[in-house]
Amino acid sequence: MFAPRPIAFASTVDKDGKPNLSPFSFFNTFGIHPPIMIFSPSRRGRDATTKHTYENIKEVPEVVINVVFILHDTTSQHGQRPVPKRGE
């Protein structure tokens, strides 16, 4: 068990350029030459809908992963609540 559980923020944009920042705890690194990091934008457990991050990546195949360090842990907890996509 990891404690505290590591968090990564995935930053994406949709086809209209609207930004999205979403926390993920299911991620890992696999190397530095070349740098490879994976994360799983799986369906939500509550209602099985897909996250905005996944929808955005299908539209614009780019994502930036930011790993949260313990120093930022308190601040990162604010980003873990669901927020409706703009315009919905």
- Asked whether 66 and 7 are in contact (CB, 8 A), the reply is no
28-58 residue pLDDT tens = 888 888 888 888 887 887 898 888 999 999 9
Residue 81: the pLDDT is 62
Quick one: DSSP state of residue 22?
E
- More confidently predicted of 35 and 15: 15
- Asked whether 28 and 38 are in contact (CB, 8 A), the reply is yes
Residue 53: the pLDDT is 92
Residue 62: the pLDDT is 94
- More confidently predicted of 38 and 69: 38
